[in-house]
């Protein structure tokens, strides 16, 4: 099965084999994914007022590589949904799971941080996994915009794209929602926690 139900554990992607395995979805996988995305889209119209699903689906069907990336977002528990359309007519999907995607936790920030760890290394880094999936980590602005559409990461936290000056100094930043507010924190980029993953965005 490509997708999982809400009661099942989401899959942690095998990073080593991802590049080799990347391919177009089968017809059955594509149809299942489109059905899942449409159902979520129609259930959460507050996230994308004025956007027509038929136009979104047409974009997806014309870009199979983007569908593959959305499949990885779905497979790892991201529950991607459309949150905006651009002036050029593109649509932006963002991970809208209530908590940080379950299949993308316990990763340090980036590959440099991973290489610096001498022991107890995590499986991979957030930045590398996002790149392998074909998505981008949310910026702080995108994260704050997402929180205007609901309440996310009330029990978990998510790495976000870290400014170069902070990363150069050895740090990385992450966000969560507590006490009715978005909080932005810092950690050493080498750190990783079972309750911290990352949210991604994909423009189609």
Q: What is the DSSP string of 184-203?
A: EEEEETT---TTEEE-EEEE
| The predicted structure's pLDDT at residue 9 | 58
> What's the average pLDDT block by block, 10 residues per block, for the chain (204 residues)?
42 52 83 98 97 97 97 98 96 98 98 94 97 98 98 98 98 98 98 98 98
The C-alpha atoms of residue 184 and residue 144 are separated, in whole angstroms, by 10
Strand-strand pairing, 196-198 and 157-159:
parallel
| The predicted structure's pLDDT at residue 24 | 81
The C-alpha atoms of residue 127 and residue 162 are separated, in whole angstroms, by 10
| The predicted structure's pLDDT at residue 144 | 98
| The predicted structure's pLDDT at residue 7 | 39
């Amino acid at each position: 099965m490509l997708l999982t139900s809400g009661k099942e554990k989401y899959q942690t992607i095998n990073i080593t084999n991802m590049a080799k395995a990347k391919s177009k979805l089968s017809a059955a996988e594509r149809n299942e994914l489109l059905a899942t995305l449409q159902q979520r889209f129609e259930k959460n119209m507050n996230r994308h007022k004025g956007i027509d699903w038929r136009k979104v689906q047409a974009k997806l069907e014309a870009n199979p590589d983007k569908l593959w990336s959305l499949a990885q977002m779905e497979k790892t528990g991201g529950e991607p949904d459309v949150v905006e359309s651009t002036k050029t007519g593109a649509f932006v999907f963002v991970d809208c799971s209530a908590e940080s995607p379950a299949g993308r936790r316990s990763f340090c920030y980036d590959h440099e941080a991973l290489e610096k760890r001498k022991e107890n290394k995590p499986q991979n880094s957030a930045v590398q996994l996002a790149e392998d999936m074909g998505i981008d980590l949310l910026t702080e602005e995108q994260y704050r915009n997402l929180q205007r559409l609901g309440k996310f990461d009330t029990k978990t936290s998510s790495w976000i794209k870290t400014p170069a000056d902070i990363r150069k100094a050895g740090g990385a930043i992450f966000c969560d929602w507590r006490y009715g507010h978005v909080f932005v924190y810092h950690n050493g980029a080498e750190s990783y926690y079972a309750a911290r993953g990352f949210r991604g965005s994909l423009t189609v």
